[in-house]
Amino acid sequence: MNNPMVRADLYNYASLLDSLHSMWQPHPSQKLPLSKVFKELLAFVFLECGRKWGKSEFEAYILWRWAMTRPGGYYYFAPFQKQAREILWAPRRLQNFGPKELLAKKPNDTEMRINFKNGSFIKVDGSDNFDAYRGINPHGIVNDEFKDFRPEFWVAMEPNLASFKAQAVFAGTPPEVENEQFENIARESKLLGGYFSFPSWANPHIDKDWLRNKRSALYSRNEGVIWEREYGGRRVFGGPGAIIPMFDRSKHVIPHEQIMDRLSKDKHKLIWLVTADPGTATTFAVLFSAINPYTQEIFHLDCLYIEDQADTTTSRIVPMISEVREGLYPNWDGVIEWTQVYDEAATWFCIEALTSFDEPFIPTHKAQNKKEDGLSLIKDQCINAKAVLSDRCDKLAWEIENYVRDKNGKIPKLRDHLIDCWRYANAAAGLCLADSPEPKNTKTGHYRAFTVEKDLEAIREEIGQVEISETDFVFPDMEFTQ
């Protein structure tokens, strides 16, 4: 510290920070992620936070502090350019955030650019303008609501970070549906120690009564998912756009062993189904289910979800199906008869499975059933406790949670391979919501018990007759003797 140049640099740095902090101070929950940016210099810092946490001010602080203290080019991106202007530029949040005496000239409203006397600049734009940012050399970028970014943006931007080992900060509310690019960045940030999740109420300046009223209003409208995600900062899927909102992991998913114990005593009166939704260029999905035709319950026991195209051939899939089938009940006595159905659009799979493996599959006849009707039945099964998923069916649960209508209110042809298998299984088993009475004698169709006397008792109950003699009923499959 005896070096006068070092002392001068530190004094100047401290003076710059004092001038910035005189205009804005981070609250306690903002200080830890800021230390990851400015003290540990992490490559990725990732925040999932609730509304009103103070995200915009947090991002503006990072941009100003970078530009004030480290000459270079710094960028702020929102999902769309128009959105970036409305969030940070039009309200003049960014332009007025720090000391104006550090600016080289008046901020450029057309380009949404702030130039500093030290040669730094801050540029504001949207991910929809991704082609304009191929080959730039940023020193740091802030990505606001990254979950809604154009996927092409990060493909174009990520290589640019290498030139100056630029830091990247990501902040926003959690996604409504799972987003692979978002998940990858979050995972990398966790490995680096730069991942954070904060609820709205981590901001000490927010009105707690306002939050309580908002929570009460959302839950009263059965929109608790919105509260948990948008204000709690928790990654929960669904909400108003959810197509199967009544599905709940805590209610519908149970341990596999518990399901198999429950089914073991009734295994020979169940319908056992393998349902395949073949795909070579996309996902190949297979669902293994057991259906009780008398209670109308459906039990999803396991699934295959193959996304690697090298593994979606019939020669790879059929042995996998056999292995899963045989592994479902390794300790049971007797043989379970399986019915196997497939999406008839993939005739090639049926032919190859039969000719190469002697495995028969029958078509779903899906064209005879409307998709909306099939989805309505799935919803009713969830509501009426007729659907049970094994914890092995995580991909099915994932699809349901991410099955959300698009911006036009349409049902997307996306993330629905196992959901389609569920629809096909329902149709193949002829399921509906009306309970079917279980016959007391599945062999002859008559109500049978262990003795003639008990048989007569059962019949008396059935027809409401108080007195009945043996000659009132003839048993066609046995000789009656006194």
pLDDT of residue 444: 40
| Chain centroid to CA 52 | 24
pLDDT of residue 477: 38
- With b for 16 or more beta-carbon neighbours within 10 A and e for fewer, the 172-200 pattern comes to bbbbbbebeebeebbeebeeeebbbbbbb
Residues contacting 326, CB < 8 A, separation 6+: none
pLDDT of residue 179: 79
Q: What is the mean pLDDT of each run of 10 residues along the chain (482 residues)?
A: 54 85 93 95 95 94 95 96 93 93 95 96 95 94 94 93 96 84 90 94 92 88 81 78 84 94 90 90 91 93 91 92 91 84 90 94 76 89 93 93 79 86 92 56 39 45 44 35 34
pLDDT of residue 178: 73
Least Cα distance to 287 among 369, 395, 371, 387 occurs for 395
| Chain centroid to CA 99 | 43
pLDDT of residue 15: 86
Domains and CATH numbers, the chain: 9-202 (3.40.50.300), 249-429 (3.30.420.280), 439-482 (no CATH)
Counting other chains too, the contacts that 370-375 makes at CB distance below 8 Å and 24 or more residues apart are 371/411, 371/423, 372/411, 374/423, 374/426, 374/427, 375/243, 375/244, 375/411, 375/419, 375/423
